[in-house]
Chain A
Amino acid sequence: MAGRPTTGVPILRLGDVLVTGLLNELDDKTALAFTDELTERISAESIRGVLIDVSRLEIIDSFVARTLMELTTMARLLGARVIVAGMRPPVAITLVELGVELVGVETALDAERGMAALGWRQGPAPGGVRRDTTR
């Protein structure tokens, strides 16, 4: 979209919100490139909210935690709000024991709640089509 090499981590745009997710195979270089790409797009596309789904991450170590904290701060400086959604419970337990509290990082239980916090609501389908629950 930006016509430049990307990290391979898909970043979708919905209005003024970017939606993305981290994969378990995230290595350090990819994490840093992801930060660069996201901040550039926030600025270039006047983004006001970013949802980062982390439900695929089987671990979050201090490096990834730091990346998330820095990314959140950078985005805030650019006027955008970041929500980290979908953390697995064992990951939350381990992060606390590790001593990493993700200070300043807003979270949501899952992507849907995160999007709601960013102002997105699931509305009725266009044209008044309803789901047929009788079938």
Chain B
Amino acid sequence: MTQLAKGSIAAAAGAEGGSPADSTFTESDSESATVIALRTEEDLLAVRHAVRAATLKLGFGIVDQTRVVTAASELARNAYIHGGGGALTIEYPRRQGTPGVRLTIRDDGPGIPDLDAALTDGFTTGAGLGHGLGGARRLMDDFEVHTAPGKGTTVIATRWARQ
């Protein structure tokens, strides 16, 4: 995590997102974080169930539920296929009283050599459409990627409840 050679991209999908302070970790709710290993294809299904449950817990609408679960599926598959496995953590941060769901997807893979390219639609090095990373960014409010060659990749993506 100390290596941010290719930069940490903090992208807010909407204007409501990201003052720089948001990208630092806010204290999670007392509700404990959930960690799911990403070692098998079955784990990808477990991720969908757990993330769906998390969005339901916060009362997300059906479209927001679908956005977050889809983003989780894309990011978990990236970690499984490109990163050789890893883990997904679900947390419940608060920002000025607004609850959110934060997904942290970590893998120990080779890292992403060209992050800008990887965030571009149509870029793929594996099975997929190449929409995974850039697409997941559009589905979430806050999005950070930390990666460096040989150091793995960590994606931190948050979606906040709508008021």
Q: Which residues of A contact B (CB under 8 A)?
A: 25, 27-29, 58-63, 65-66, 88-91, 93-94, 97-100
Contact = CB atoms under 8 A, between A and B. Distances in A.
The 10 closest A-B pairs by CB, nearest first: A98-B135, A90-B66, A61-B73, A62-B129, A90-B63, A99-B131, A62-B131, A59-B70, A94-B66, A27-B41
Interface of B: 41-42, 44-45, 48, 52, 62-63, 65-67, 69-70, 73-74, 77, 121, 127-132, 134-136, 138-139
Given A61-B77, A66-B127, A99 B135 contact: yes
Contacts of B69: 58-59
Contacts of B73: 59, 61, 63
Q: Main SS of chain A's interface residues?
A: helix
A97 B138 contact: yes
A29 B48 CA distance: 17
Contacts of B45: 25, 27
Nearest to B52: A58
A100 B132 CA distance: 10
